[in-house]
Amino acid sequence: MSTLNAGDLTLETAQHILRQFICLDQTGGEPVPDADLVRQSLLLVADRSDFQIFGICADSTTQATATLYSYLHALGYDYRPEVAPTEGPVYIKFNPKTGRCHTDSYSGTHRGVLISCQSAYDGDVNETFGHLPLDLWLSTLDA
């Protein structure tokens, strides 16, 4: 799988790559895919869904907000929701369709991004992926 180029991605392959991050499947023994391949997979899957709902589990509100903004920018959203400050580890849930952004303290051990792809049609993507890396898109913002 490591020799796969982004141009060779199919929807099925992209979903397989992203499913490797699902908490329950992380013990599958497969190596973590290359970040560029994960980014291209996410772009392809997002393109095959009507919208996405984001969940961020992070060590701080600052980290979670930067992560949310980087994912929103990468997936073509113009939104920059106001995120309520919360002390300590935090969970943010943002629904771009409604504009609702919920912030709460988080006592779990997982860190990363959950993306729930929502589609009106059965042939498109209706699935949740994650926990994807918090910094997946941060390095691309300055490029």
DSSP 2-36: TT--GGG--HHHHHHHHHTTSGGGTTS-PPPPPHH
Q: Look up the pTM and report it.
A: 0.87
pLDDT score, position 141: 59
pLDDT score, position 140: 67
| Ordered structural domains, the chain, with CATH | 6-140 (3.30.360.10)
Return the higher-pLDDT residue of 50 and 4. 50
The answer to whether 127 touches 117, Cβ cutoff 8 Å, is: yes
Average pLDDT over residues 85-113: 95
Q: Average pLDDT over the chain, rounded to whole?
A: 88
Tokens of 3: 């020799």
Amino acid letter, 36: D
pLDDT score, position 37: 94
pLDDT score, position 51: 94
Q: Has residue 79 got a pLDDT over 50?
A: yes
Q: Has residue 1 got a pLDDT over 90?
A: no
At 26, the pLDDT band (50, 70, 90 cuts) reads very low
pLDDT score, position 48: 94
pLDDT score, position 7: 67
- What burial letters (b/e) apply to 71-110, b meaning 16+ CB within 10 Å? bbebbebeeebebeebeebbbbbbbbeeeebebeebeeee
Can you give the length of the chain in residues?
Answer: 143
53 vs 107: CA distance, rounded Å? 21
pLDDT score, position 3: 54
pLDDT score, position 6: 55
Among 81, 71, 66, 67, smallest CA distance to 134 is for 67
What pLDDT digit, counting tens, does each position of 31-48 carry? 678 899 999 999 999 999
